[in-house]
Amino acid sequence: MQRKEVQAAFKILLEEIEITANDINEEGAKAIKTGNYEAARRAIEEATRLADFREKVKALQKEWISITSKTNLRKGRQGHTATKHLPKGLRTPEEAFRIPILEALIELGGKGTLREVLNLVEKKMRSVLTKYDYKPLSSDPKSIRWQNTAQWCRNSLVREGLMMSDSPRGVWEISESGEIFVQEIDKRQSLFFGLTPEEIQILEGKGNDKLP
C-alpha cells in the first residue's frame, strides 16, 4: 500500500466517524424532544466515546505523517488502483477554523448559537474557503464539508479547554482560557507588525498615552 493510500484511508475513516457522530447527535436531539432522556444519555455517552476514538485516529495519522516524512517507503504494487479521495490541499483543514471560531465567539459576547457562530466564521474565512468546502460530504449529502469541519474543530477546542464543555445544546461558548489564547495570538501578531509592548498595552487600554 502506498503512503498516499494510507493517508486516503485515514481521511475516509475520519469522515465516516464524522457521519456517525452526526447521526448520534440527531438521535440525541430527537430523544430530548420526545422526553426520552435515557436514550439521550446513551447518545451522549456514545458521542463521547466516538470523540475519544477520533482523537486516537488523528494521533495515529500524525504519527504516520511523521514516520513517512523521515523514511523512504517502498512504492506500491504496479497496477494497484488508489482509493478515490479529495486531493490534498483542496479541503480547508480543521486547524484553520480555530482562531476564526474563537474570534467569532468573542465578537458575539462570549457565546452564540451554532448558526450565529458559523455565519460569522464564514464571513471571516470567505477568502480561505474553497469551492470544495461548500460541497456536501460524498457519504452524507446533508452535511456541507466546511460546516462539518468547523463542528469537529469545536469539539477539539472543547477538549483543549478553549471552549466550554457544559454549554446548552446548540450553543457554543468560549472559555476564559480561550479568551487568553486569542489575546496571546493578537499580541504576537502585533509584535510581528512592529508594535512595541508599550504600544500593545495602549491598544489594550492599559497605557496612559495614545498611539501617534
Cell 474565512, residue located: 125
Q: Which residues pair with 140 in a beta bridge?
A: 137
- CA quadruple 5, 59, 96, 112: dihedral sign: positive
DSSP 211: -
Contact 90, 135 (CB under 8 A): no
Cell 468560549, residue located: 174
Residue 82 confidence (pLDDT) above 60: no
What pTM was computed for the model? Answer: 0.58
Which helix (H) or strand (E) segment holds residue 12: the answer is: helix 3-33
Residue 204 confidence (pLDDT) above 80: no
The pLDDT of 174-188, averaged and rounded, is: 87
Whichever domain contains 107, its CATH number is 1.10.10.10
Q: Among residues 96, 119, 102, which one has the least CA distance to residue 161?
A: 102
Residue 121 lies in a domain: yes
Instruction: Tell me: do 29 and 109 sit in the same domain.
Output: no
pLDDT band at 191 (very low <50, low <70, confident <90, very high): low
Domain count, the chain: 2
Which helix (H) or strand (E) segment holds residue 173: the answer is: strand 171-173
- Crossing angle of helices 114-124 and 98-107, in 10° steps, is 120
Instruction: Tell me: do 21 and 104 sit in the same domain.
Output: no
Q: Among residues 192, 164, 168, which one has the least CA distance to residue 178?
A: 164
Range of the structural domain that residue 110 is part of: 89-212
pLDDT digits 0-9 by tens, 85-129? 555 557 788 889 999 999 999 999 999 999 999 999 999 999 899
Which helix (H) or strand (E) segment holds residue 57: the answer is: helix 37-70
Residue 84 lies in a domain: no
The residue from 12, 41, 73 where one domain ends is 73
pLDDT of residue 197: 55
pLDDT of residue 81: 44
Residue 82 lies in a domain: no
pLDDT digits 0-9 by tens, 23-67? 777 777 777 778 887 887 787 788 778 888 888 888 888 888 888
pLDDT band at 16 (very low <50, low <70, confident <90, very high): confident
Instruction: Tell me: do 104 and 209 sit in the same domain.
Output: yes
Instruction: Tell me: do 69 and 141 sit in the same domain.
Output: no
Instruction: Tell me: do 27 and 115 sit in the same domain.
Output: no
Instruction: Tell me: do 51 and 151 sit in the same domain.
Output: no
Residue 79 lies in a domain: no
Instruction: Tell me: do 58 and 136 sit in the same domain.
Output: no
Residue 110 lies in a domain: yes
Q: Among residues 162, 55, 18, 188, which one has the least CA distance to residue 100?
A: 162
Residue 168 lies in a domain: yes
Phi-psi region of 205 (alpha: psi -120 to 50; beta: other; left: phi over 0): left
Instruction: Tell me: do 30 and 99 sit in the same domain.
Output: no
